[in-house]
A and B are shown apart, each in its own frame.
Chain A
């Protein structure tokens, strides 16, 4: 599983400000690619362009060689899973949340088959959540647990690519370690391509097989050694400005 993702000369402006200026990126099938950049550098925008929650101004995004604009947005978003920084839980149980992408919120009694429940349980376990969580109210879980539910929910659609927008930004160090090991395990067992954006160079080094640096609208591939220096440079610049 997992397919190639290519961003070709992509540009995007928001409210008259250039966010992304002619960026290009290749994520090969099964790779974990980390995009690092300071706050407001356009990391989230890049992900939103890939699953077409927003439109590129110019350039092209290709999935397995096929332009995403030639695909139906609903089908595209089944191929590309999305995990947000703050997990969004729907007002129902953990299991119903996990099945949401396939039931679309329909009455579970009508739409839920035993196969679907078994599949959801399998992905809950893959996201390191015990089966006892199934009937719990998703909104009552801790943020770390909710993030696991969100991962299981995205996996339910059998995505080829998983986009993660600062998936551990709201978590404590123990939960961060837990989520990171889950990400590696899923990548290893399913071969899903991961594009993870983070402001943490350490996390990029821990997770990314390749690392990209996004700053002032530009994107470039950097080595694991360079990334910390680049980020430190931004912090220094910021403290000088202050």
Chain B
């Protein structure tokens, strides 16, 4: 794909030039008294350090191409994504018991399936970035689902309790609220799918085109990525809904009182 060799000095210079945009954002924030200058600076320094470390780790993994390293990297992403998503479930007891298994099952099912169907080659260069997309999107969808579900629990509490009072099991009493929360959490992904290529050219395709790949090939991979995101998202939310149910309904089919 690429016909030139990467020069780190040249790269650093380009990065400094691009940082002018960051400076513009900081100046605007200061000028308009928005108050996010410190966050922008800290966030950018963190991003620089994180991406540098990731780049070094990826280089080492790509060179070794060891399956175990690929698995460890994906597992690390899943744990981090699980902790991040769990922050959206504040009030639900032990939310990482919901988010980590949901994201792990959602993301790994699609990755394993794509490799088994030979859509993706079993190579670190493919598995890690595409796996990262699956994990990242599963995390976003899981966070949206938990956020929506918490709101449903809070605002539709009397409806849920009335279903229980009419003899419904917790599963039946929560079902409409689970369905609504799952549907809502998938809206941004489905809207992106509908406007794919028209409103925006998404990340994977952009990256491949910049790297010099045939746009048709880039489009093909982008569709693979999107199908994967949708499948992993639905699997993640379905699993999360199953696990979160046990956190909010106890064995006596009572709604557990949550501290929001």
Which A residues form the contact surface with B (CB < 8 A)?
A: 51-55, 73-75, 77-78, 82, 84, 86, 88, 90, 100-101, 104-105, 153-154, 157
A101 touches B158 (CB 8 A): no
- The reply to whether B167 and A105 contact each other, CB–CB distance below 8 Å, is no
Contacts of A52 in B (CB 8 A): 252, 254
Known A73-B164, A100-B163; further 15 A-B contacts with Cβ < 8 A? A73-B252, A73-B253, A73-B254, A74-B168, A74-B169, A77-B164, A77-B167, A82-B166, A84-B158, A84-B162, A84-B165, A104-B172, A105-B163, A105-B172, A157-B167
Which chain B positions have C-beta within 8 A of A54? 254
| Pair count A-B, CB < 8 A | 53
Query: Is B252's CB under 8 angstroms from A75's CB?
Result: no
- Enumerate chain A residues within 8 angstroms of B165, measured Cβ to Cβ: 51, 53, 77, 82, 84
CA distance A101 to B168 in the complex (A): 7
Chain B hits for A78, CB < 8 A:
167
The answer to whether the Cβ of B175 comes within 8 Å of any Cβ in the partner chain is yes
Return the chain B residue nearest A106 by Cβ.
Answer: B172
Given A84-B162, A86-B158, the answer on whether A75 and B167 have CB atoms closer than 8 Å is: yes
A88 touches B167 (CB 8 A): no
Given contacts A86-B158, A105-B175, contact A153 B166 (CB under 8 A): yes
In whole angstroms, what is the CA distance A52 to B175 when docked? 21
Given contacts A88-B158, A105-B176, contact A53 B167 (CB under 8 A): no
Chain B neighbourhood of A77, CB < 8 A: 164-167
B135 within 8 A of A: no
The docked-state distance in angstroms from the alpha carbon of A51 to that of B252 is 11
Q: How far is the CA of A105 from the CA of B252 in the complex (A)?
A: 21
Q: Which residues of A contact B255 (CB under 8 A)?
A: 53
B37 an interface residue at 8 Å Cβ cutoff?
no
> Closest Cβ of chain B: how far from A72's Cβ, in Å?
9
- How far, in Å, is A212 (CB) from chain B's closest CB? 22
Residues in chain B near residue A104, CB distance under 8 A:
163, 168, 172
Nearest A residue to B165 by beta-carbon distance? A82
B window 233-260: CB within 8 A of A: 252-255
User: CA of A55 to CA of B161 in the docked complex: distance in angstroms?
Assistant: 14
In the complex formed, the residue of B with least CB distance to A14 is B257
Chain A residues, Cβ within 8 Å of B158: 84, 86, 88
CA A55 to CA B172, docked complex, whole Å = 21
CB distance from A47 to the nearest CB of B (A): 10
Rounded to whole Å, the gap between the CB of B101 and the closest CB of chain A is: 27
Given A84-B158, A88-B158: A100 touches B254 (CB 8 Å cut-off): no
Which residue, of B161, B168, B169, B252, has the highest number of chain A Cβ atoms within 10 A?
B252
Within the complex, the shortest CB–CB distance from B230 to chain A, in Å, comes to 26
B209-223 CB mask vs A (1 if < 8 Å, else 0) is 000000000000000
Report the nearest A residue to B162, measured CB to CB.
A88
Interfacial residues of chain B within 168-185, with CB under 8 A of chain A in the complex: 168-169, 172, 175-176
Bound together, the chains give a CA A52 to CA B162 distance in angstroms of 12
Determine the residue in chain A with the shortest Cβ distance to B250.
Answer: A55
Chain B minimum-CB-distance residue to A74: B167
* Complexed CA–CA distance, A229 and B158 (Å): 34
Q: Does the CB pair A53–B254 fall under 8 Å?
A: yes
